[in-house]
Amino acid sequence: MKEADYKELKKGGMMRQAEKGKFSVRLRLAGGRLTAEAMGVVKDVADRYGRGEIHLTARQGIEIPFISQDDLFKVKSELAAGGVEVGVCGPTVRTVTACQGSKVCPLGVLDASGLASEVDRLFYGKPVPTKFKVGISGCVNNCLKAEENDIGIKGGIEPCWNRDLCTYCGVCEAVCPADAIRVREEEGRVHIDLGKCIYCGDCIKACPFRAMQESRRGFFVFAGGKFGRFPSLGKKMGGFFTGDSAVISIVRESIEFFKSFGKPKDRFGTTIQRVGFKEYEKYVLDALKEEMGEKAARHHR
């Protein structure tokens, strides 16, 4: 088999191993989710064509190692017959990672897993200058490490204060992990500094009189993060966004920006640095406004 064919196989999720003639087959998963039935299909393939091993990757993926070159396409079609797709590698939109989110986790604000499936359905495998990774955390606890991704999404809750119900007990100020609340009974007010607030919602849960309330549920966006040889954290876009459709639009516009301005081998963060973060933000937000009207889901603090 020629070098070019190996490249093609790699693009199609079948990566050459250190051991001659053996390949590791990557599967398509979104948010690390797989049905028990599909897991049975994967087990069966690993037992019959590999060495009974399954590798869980750092980004919630599954790879089946030790597949012989001659069996690759048989494996692909057996997996497909069982409803399991082989994944991608190379310069494409990669596996979308997510925590379990609000459908499972009691702390969840976003349905991170459901959003991952939707982002995967729309963008997985699309060609881009280099790999492009999306990660979604259902709340500010950030189990999924949003900032390590080209685009990271992190759910949050914006609090608001109801004067009529407040007794100025001071509980909210005491529990706030960001030192963002000042209770001033003498002035008849509780001040929330949204510039400091991390949108955790702890004050809402802790208030004994329901005077601290939920204003909005939404998410923050981080752009340009990566791991690898030179790790860097994604930079936070200005504003708090709401609505699942805004997640989709922001990912779509970021991919378009990358396709328009990225050079071969540039990661997304490098492209943003070269063009300018403000320009990138404008590109995405202008498109968002056009799509959603002036009631675009961005809210400046």
- Of 100, 215, 232, 273, the residue at the interface with ligand SF4 (CB under 6 A) is 100
Shortest approach of ligand SF4 to residue 259 CB, angstroms? Answer: 30
Burial bucket for residue 231 (CB in 10 Å: 0-12, 13-18, 19+):
exposed
Q: How far apart are CA 133 and CA 115, in angstroms?
A: 14
| DSSP E strand stretches across the chain | 14-16, 22-26, 55-56, 62-68, 97-98, 134-137, 151-161, 181-184, 189-192, 212-223, 235-236
Identify which of residues 212 and 247 has a Cβ nearer to ligand SF4 in the complex.
212
Stretch that binds ligand SF4, among 5-13, 61-69, 88-96, 162-170 (CB under 6 A): 162-170
In the chain, the amino acid numbered 243 is G
Yes or no: say if 104 and 113 are a contact pair by the CB < 8 Å rule.
Answer: yes
137: β partners = 154
Question: Tokens for 41?
Answer: 């299909």
Task: Write the interaction track for ligand SF4 spanning residues 177-196; mark x where CB under 6 A is met and - where it is not.
Answer: xx-xx-x------x-x----
The piece of 22-30, 59-67, 138-146, 219-227 that touches ligand SF4 (CB under 6 A) is: 138-146
Which CB atom, from 113 or from 130, has the smaller least distance to ligand SF4? 113
The binder of ligand SF4 chosen from 32, 201, 262, 269 (CB under 6 A): 201
Using only C-alpha atoms, the chain has a radius of gyration, in whole angstroms, of: 23
Stretch that binds ligand SF4, among 40-48, 60-68, 93-101, 256-264 (CB under 6 A): 93-101
Residue 188 — φ and ψ, nearest 5°?
Answer: 70, 40
Q: What length does the chain have?
A: 301
Give the residue nearest to ligand SF4 (CB): 138
Residues ≥6 apart with Cβ < 8 Å to 45: 64, 75, 78, 79
Of the pair 181, 223, the CB lying nearest ligand SF4 is at 181
The two structure tokens encoding residue 222 = 């981080």
Q: Which of 124, 132, 199, 222 binds ligand SF4 (CB under 6 A)?
A: 199
Q: By three-state DSSP, how is residue 133 classified? A: coil
Tell me how far, at minimum, the Cβ of 139 lies from ligand SF4, in Å.
3
Q: Does 107 bind ligand SF4 (CB under 6 A)?
A: yes
Question: Among residues 46, 211, 237, 247, which is the contact residue for ligand SF4, using CB under 6 A?
Answer: 211
CA contacts within 13 A on the Cβ side of 104: 11
In whole angstroms, how close is the CB of 168 to ligand SF4 at the nearest point? 5
129 binds ligand SF4 (CB under 6 A): no
Is 143 a residue that touches ligand SF4 (CB under 6 A)?
Answer: yes
Q: How many CA atoms lie within 13 A of 136 on its CB side?
A: 31
Give the footprint of ligand SF4 on this chain (CB under 6 A).
Answer: 99-101, 105, 107-108, 112, 137-139, 141-144, 159, 161, 166-172, 175-178, 180-181, 183, 190, 192, 197-203, 207, 209, 211-212
